Chain A
Amino acid sequence: AQTVTQSQPEMSVQEAETVTLSCTYDTSESDYYLFWYKQPPSRQMILVIRQEAYKQQNATENRFSVNFQKAAKSFSLKISDSQLGDAAMYFCAYRLFSGTYKYIFGTGTRLKVLA
């Protein structure tokens, strides 16, 4: 069975600084997606970034980038130039490449941004 583990319940970062959120996962599959979702107090899950497992190049979206280590089953999120609006719960998630929209989520990391 696939599992996703986030070992940091809470992280803090100063505004304009950089922070890295950690995620590890376990799967025997070779084709899958990994995601980082942001959940602000409004509760809606917002996609931050997506990584296809077959791609060696790490995904980037503006201030957000990932460090994907497939052999180590590690998928960390780096947020550069942190902003007050980045404060939220961040969830790492796994999904098989095809045939399903079943996401497996980690327990989340609460990110606090300090002014």
Chain B
Amino acid sequence: DAGVTQSPTHLIKTRGQQVTLRCSPKSGHDTVSWYQQALGQGPQFIFQYYEEEERQRGNFPDRFSGHQFPNYSSELNVNALLLGDSALYLCASSQYWTAQGTEAFFGQGTRLTVV
């Protein structure tokens, strides 16, 4: 079992550009959540996807959008990048209908640097 995999591991983008980050959930999981972890901070919830729909969203602007595919994998898109978007982006996968009994599994993250 490969667990949660994210790509790429590192990325450097220029301010104003757009970026797409990818996540493949752990086998058997159908829900993907995305988190932003700024340097020296705890992860902040961006949004959660289940059945290809955004189910819950944190306090992030519309520049942050996502998508979930039929195979449960997910993408996080960020438009009009700002220097403040530089962070570690973590993906977490889980099983939607067993929320009462399980926890999410996290990937190793994508380190995004905006210059």
Tell me the B1-43 residues at the A interface (CB within 8 Å): 31, 33, 35, 40-43
Determine whether the beta carbon of B43 is less than 8 Å from that of A105: yes
Closest A residue by C-beta to B104 = A101
Q: Flag whether A114 is at the interface (Cβ < 8 A).
A: no
Tell me the B38-95 residues at the A interface (CB within 8 Å): 40-45, 48, 56, 58, 88, 90, 92, 94
Closest B residue by C-beta to A104 = B45
Determine whether the beta carbon of B48 is less than 8 Å from that of A100: yes
A interface residues, tally (CB under 8 Å)? 26
Determine whether the beta carbon of A101 is less than 8 Å from that of B92: yes
A88 to chain B, nearest CB (A): 14
A21 to chain B, nearest CB (A): 13
Closest A residue by C-beta to B45 = A102
Task: Give the number of A-B contacts (CB < 8 Å).
Answer: 62
Determine whether the beta carbon of A50 is less than 8 Å from that of B103: yes
In angstroms, Cα B58 to Cα A50, docked, is: 23
Tell me the B81-115 residues at the A interface (CB within 8 Å): 88, 90, 92, 94, 99-100, 103-104, 106-109, 111
Q: Flag whether A68 is at the interface (Cβ < 8 A).
A: no
Residues of B near A93 (CB, < 8 A) are 42
Determine whether the beta carbon of B109 is less than 8 Å from that of A98: no
